[in-house]
Every structure is written in C-alpha cells, then in structure tokens.
Amino acid sequence: MQYEYTAIPEKDVPRASNPIFQHLLDTYASETSKVVTVWQQFSPEDMAFKPAERSYTVAEVMKHQLLSERRFFAEFIGLPGEPEAAALLPPELTPAAFCKRNEELCCPRLAKMANQAELWWLEVVPFFDVHRQRIWVFWRRVLHTAHHRTQLSVYLRLMGKPVPPSYGPTADVTWTGADPTRNVHAAERK
C-alpha cells in the first residue's frame, strides 16, 4: 500500500513483549494513521457539515473519536495512565488540531499495550452490560474507529472532496500495482 501520509510510521510502533500480540499494535497504529489521513481532507470550514439533520457534524465525529477511544482504553480495557477526559479535546476544533491530538493520544497507548502480558489480554473485563476478554474489547474499539472513519469518508464523497485510500485504492487515489477486486474474474484468483 502507498499512503501519502502515515501518522505513526512502522518504525515507531513498539515491539510487543509477546510477539503474538504484535498485530494489535500494528493494527492500532495503522488505523490511527488512516483516521488522521481522512481527517486531513477536511478544512476548518467543513467542521459544521452534516449530511442529514440527525447526523453528527464533522466536528462531532472527531470529538466522539477522541472521547470514546479514551473511554474504551480507560474504562473497558483498563489501560493505565489515560488522560482525564477534560484534557482530550484540542484547544482549537480544527481538523489539523484534531489530527495532532489523535496522534498525541495514540502513541503512549501503543507503548503501554506493548508491555502487556498474554494473561492481561485474555482477562475477562466488563464491557457495558456484558463481560468479554480484553482482546475482544480491543477489536471492538478498532471496528468502532473504522466505522467512524468510514462515516467521514462518506461525508467527503458527499462534499465532492477526494477520499484517501484506507485498505487499497479509491476512485480518487490509485497506484501501479494496485489490484482492486471489482469483478468475478478477480475474485476467482487463488
């Protein structure tokens, strides 16, 4: 994959104390980079945009990402040292400030997760009204993040702005060697 910007380069992702959990750190760093890449497409003037009356604005989705991610890591996953909720939002509610703040919050989490042992990841913890393994809660966080990144990607399309690649080329961005599966022939490859 070729991305124009990477918020957390591969070389900056810490090594997990147990290599079997390295994919968690790699995925979290990659998803953070993808979120930042989408957020960078918005201008300060776009922050009040919402496609329908009951939808969140761009700014509200960005706020929700920072706030809900903190809650997942502090309350549900139990990662130590999460900042107080009041300190999460950037002083300026601009796309650039949200991008910077997201990176600032994610990097320390990577270091803390890298030091966790297998038993910590497999421990059952409360998650809303159910109990699940911590690793399961982590993957729910990743899916939640992908959901909101996709939501803002749709906003970009509706606004006539380019949509950056997440897992492959888009209608706006492609590269030599990109091979999207858009037909039956491509799907039949082994």
Structure tokens at 57: 């604005």
pLDDT tens profile 103-143: 999 999 999 999 999 999 999 999 999 999 999 999 999 99
- What is the chain's alpha carbon radius of gyration, rounded to the nearest angstrom? 18
Q: pLDDT band for position 5 (50/70/90)?
A: confident
pLDDT tens profile 49-82: 999 999 999 999 999 999 999 999 999 999 999 9
Q: In whole angstroms, what is the distance from residue 153 CA to residue 51 CA?
A: 12
Q: pLDDT band for position 1 (50/70/90)?
A: low
Which residues make beta-bridge pairs with 127? Answer: 130
Q: Is the pTM of this model over 0.85?
A: yes
CATH number 1.10.8.190 given to 10-187: no
Q: In whole angstroms, what is the distance from residue 128 CA to residue 109 CA?
A: 21
pLDDT tens profile 144-155: 999 999 999 999
Whether the CB-CB separation of 57 and 48 falls below 8 Å is answered with yes
